[in-house]
Amino acid sequence: MGFFHPFFAFFLLFLSFYFLTTPTLAWPQSHGPNAVVDIRNDLPNNTKVQLELGCDKSPFIYLKLCHHRNSTITEDQDSKCTAEWLPSFTTWDVYHAKRDKGHQTVYWSIRKDGFYHSWDGSNWKLLEKCLQIGSMD
């Protein structure tokens, strides 16, 4: 019986050390502060096709008219999305660190003529025009 007691104490010590250090080693801390990207579907009400949206490695989703999608990203990393509603499509930088760093939220409004950017959700600037399948503009 005396043999099991020191072994058991060592086992508990080892187990405690393992659980105290593993979370620190397994889950690295974020590389910096986060930002929120808010993408809104502001296409006209008479749009017959749905907007498909895919960002970075996330699967594509359908974004309904007048709805929005929020994503939290690391502030130091660029992020891209692809939007498609036939015959229009584009891939654009939804978060570009040089342009957007320091802004807690980056807003995008997807409209018939392009992709509008804002840092406050009310003052918009056209940053990306839509491409159409079959056009080389």
CATH code (residue 50) = 2.60.40
Asked whether residue 25 is assigned to any structural domain, the reply reads no
pTM for the whole structure: 0.71
Does residue 75 lie within any of the structural domains? yes
In a domain, 7, yes or no: no
Q: Which of 116, 107, 114, 112 is nearest to 129 (CA)?
A: 114
Sort 43 into a burial class: Cβ within 10 Å, 0-12 / 13-18 / 19+: buried
Specify if 109 maps to a domain.
yes
Residue 73 within any structural domain of the chain: yes
User: DSSP assignment, residue 22?
Assistant: H
Structural domain containing residue 52: 34-132
The pLDDT value given to residue 3? 53
pLDDT tens digits along 59-103: 999 999 999 999 998 888 899 999 998 888 889 999 999 999 999
Cβ atoms of residues 40 and 107 within 8 Å: yes
For residue 51, is it within any domain? yes
Pick the closest to residue 107 from 83, 90, 127 (CA basis). 127
